Amino acid sequence: MGTNRILICSWAVGAAITVSTQQACSRRATINSLVETVFAGYTYVGPDEIADPNSPQPLPPAFRPNVRYLFLLRRSSADVGQWNTIKQRLEIAGARVVDAPRSAGDLVHISVGGPLFRIEFYYAGHRGTIANEMAPRIRSSQSLSRDWLLERYVLEFGD
């Protein structure tokens, strides 16, 4: 049986919790499995401050609060980026969706690019959001916009 101790766990986005060592290992993998399930088919390009569509990144070992993690979709994968697919994937991964569009009428429709959305969820005791927004760098580049959708998908966890 593991010894209880205070650990800083990456799955808990930096929050201190009391768990056994064995529990910490299994829960640490859980947040990564949530992200891998929800963002299957996406390309992770880094946290907001360094994101570059030309330089895909490996997923970070820990997800920190108040950091915007950016994902892109290739044009050939456009159906994966629909809000209802993301919502279903969150639920499959075990997240509790607390606010999401219920129909196409709840989306923000813009003249260029797809409809915009925001989904709020709780996972492992933490609030998270996934939203899509226009990707100005892609929109302003002919070469990038040939390959990538004009939106970027943002994952963020609260404190």
Q: What is the pLDDT of residue 103?
A: 66
**Residue 155 · residue 39 · CB < 8 Å:** yes
Length of the chain: 159
Whether 25 maps to a domain, the answer reads: no
Neighbouring CB atoms inside 10 A of 63's CB total 23
Domain count, the chain: 1
Whether 20 maps to a domain, the answer reads: no
**Spans of the chain, pLDDT less than 50:** 1-29
Whether 15 maps to a domain, the answer reads: no
Q: What is the pLDDT of residue 29?
A: 43
Q: What is the pLDDT of residue 137?
A: 86
Provide the domain limits for residue 48: 31-157
Whether 5 maps to a domain, the answer reads: no
Whether 44 maps to a domain, the answer reads: yes
Per-residue pLDDT of 81-114, as tens digits, reads: 688 899 999 999 999 999 777 766 655 655 555 5
Q: What is the pLDDT of residue 111?
A: 52
Token pair 């260029």: residue? 112
